[in-house]
A and B are shown apart, each in its own frame.
Chain A
Amino acid sequence: MNDDQVIWNWDHALAVLPDMLWAFLTVTLYVTLLGSLIAAVLGLIIALARKTAPRPIAGVLTFVMNFIRMTPLVVQLLFAYYALTAVPPLTLGILIFGIHYATYMAEVYRAGIDAVPRGQWEATTALSMSRGRTWTAVIVPQALRSTLPALGNYVISMFKETPFLAVLTVTDMVRAAQEYGGTNFRFMEAITMAGILFLIASYPTSLLIGRLEKRLVYTT
């Protein structure tokens, strides 16, 4: 039987694996980890600033945040690609993913902060605690705990959006699959292996988040 007529060929599936794993580690995982870190830290800063900064500053922040949330990630990536030509594409990808997801995570943090019971604030007043200590020792730790699962879900969703990095000419798994397909005229195996690697990484992570969700709830 001619090789071109079978839908699935295990030889190609194995042959594409090294390229796939390389792209997975150096791009997909790398961008997800660093992007998540930026998003988690910047998101918290945005959420705290919106709660504590003077009204005009908080207003500007809210506007910028909504602007980023209301435009597609791909548009932001392409815009940055043409506007900031001096920045290496991979760095640019990490930054844009980080900033984009920071605006979503900021909302998660806001909800977490709002969910801290009023009695906690009242106890900090009754103990004459400073504003700084109230935030860092009481409110943020409790807010973080309740937000961890939601933040984790955004990390998974960022992970699954990494193929958009291709618009920056960065070779993520999907682009690597297309390149393999283009050279060998075998797309099916390459794209399937990319999908399987996504699944292998994200499914256990989502299970872990589900378990965290149950463990993190404060039961009084």
Chain B
Amino acid sequence: MSTQPDTHTGAIALSDGEVPTIRFDKVEKRFGDHVVLHDLDFTVRKGDRVTLIGPSGSGKTTILRLVMTLEEANAGYILIDGQPLTHVERDGKRVELKEKHKNEMRKRIGMVFQQFNLFPNMTVLENIIEAPVHVLKVPKAQAIARAHELLEMVGLPDKADAHPTQLSGGQQQRVAIARALAMEPEILLLDEVTSALDPEVVGEVLSILRDIARDTDVTMLIVTHEMQFARDVSNRVLMFDGGRIVEEGSPEQIFSAPQEQRTKDFLAAVL
């Protein structure tokens, strides 16, 4: 990285000396007068699988969108591997970093969307190799070979030349997962990836994500309504309500012995 952070509020490292993969430092996000996230502080360690749960409108998806730079925080700082994502504090002022810096940071982050967002004008293969070839400058033959491996992994080895519109929702989402992984991201953001799918194909998508969680050390930040999946895959669960973390802990703690009344009410409603 060319641009190093100069100053920060808060320490970069955790108490054990490890630099967190993601750090939210007093992040505030407003949409007009509505405050979606209040002074949010949290950290995610390398290899963590963190699931964000909570009622809709509690700001979970906004957190993923902030990490992907699809939204911009109104205050506070987000650090990725100790480096500022979009803003830095200089001489007591919050300064926006250049687009070039932001784009360098984005390369470490992949996202899978609720609505897949595949490019309909490209084939499945073209969707997957687009960014590796044009952003990471991977030789095309190598990118194609990797794309075929990824398609194998998501169970669609014979769909390379299909167009997204010829695929079912579950197949499209599996291609979207392969496309995100083709960038070899350190962080994978999963934004309600099964919410737009028919119930009978939810399982196939979740099982692929379970495999990825088992076989790689990618850091995952997950927003989902699939509580069993959250339980299986994550090592930490954050319960959100009204733009604040109301409780956090291991999946066992949160799902089996929640302490906060709001967590109990939420789980009672969704389980």
Contact = CB atoms under 8 A, between A and B. Distances in A.
Interface of A: 117, 119-120, 122-123, 125-130, 133, 137-138, 141-142, 145, 218-220
B70 A122 contact: yes
B41 interface: no
Given A119-B113, A142-B121, 4 more contacts: A126-B106, A127-B130, A128-B183, A133-B134
B159 to A, nearest CB: 16
Nearest to A142: B121
Main secondary structure of the interface of A (DSSP, over half): helix
B84 interface: no
A24 B107 CA distance: 56
12 contacts: A117-B117, A123-B113, A123-B118, A126-B110, A129-B135, A130-B134, A137-B130, A137-B134, A138-B121, A141-B121, A218-B165, A219-B165
Contacts of A126: 68, 70, 106, 109-111, 113, 117, 180
A218 B122 CA distance: 12
A219 B163 CA distance: 11
Given A122-B113, A123-B113, A218-B165, A128 B135 contact: yes
Given A128-B107, A219-B165, A120 B119 contact: yes
Interface string B60-71: 000000001110
A141 B126 CA distance: 14
Given A122-B117, A123-B113, A128 B103 contact: yes
Contacts of B135: 127-130, 133
Contacts of B119: 120, 123, 137-138, 142
Contacts of B165: 218-220
Interface string B175-188: 00001100100000
A142 B165 CA distance: 13
B192 to A, nearest CB: 13
A44 to B, nearest CB: 16
Nearest to A138: B119
A130 B109 CA distance: 15
B120 A218 contact: yes
A129 B120 contact: no
Contact of A128 (B106, B117, B121): B106
Nearest to A126: B111
Interface centre among B106, B111, B118, B121, by most chain A C-beta atoms within 10 angstroms, is B121
B134 A129 contact: yes
Given A126-B106, A128-B183, A218-B165, A142 B120 contact: yes
Nearest to A128: B106
B68 A125 contact: yes
Contacts of B113: 119, 122-123, 126
B131 A127 contact: yes
Contacts of A142: 119-121
Nearest to A220: B165
Contacts of B183: 127-128
Nearest to A219: B165
A220 B110 contact: no
A123 to B, nearest CB: 4
Nearest to A119: B117
A220 B115 CA distance: 11
A105 B70 CA distance: 31
What 7 A-B pairs have minimum CB-CB distances, sorted nearest first? A127-B131, A123-B117, A119-B117, A126-B111, A128-B106, A141-B121, A218-B120
Contacts of B134: 129-130, 133, 137
A125 B117 CA distance: 11
Interface in B108-149: 109-111, 113, 115, 117-122, 130-131, 134-135
Contacts of B69: 125
Nearest to A127: B131
A84 to B, nearest CB: 40
A63 B103 CA distance: 34
A137 B110 CA distance: 19
Given A141-B121, A142-B120, A129 B131 contact: yes
A220 B179 CA distance: 18
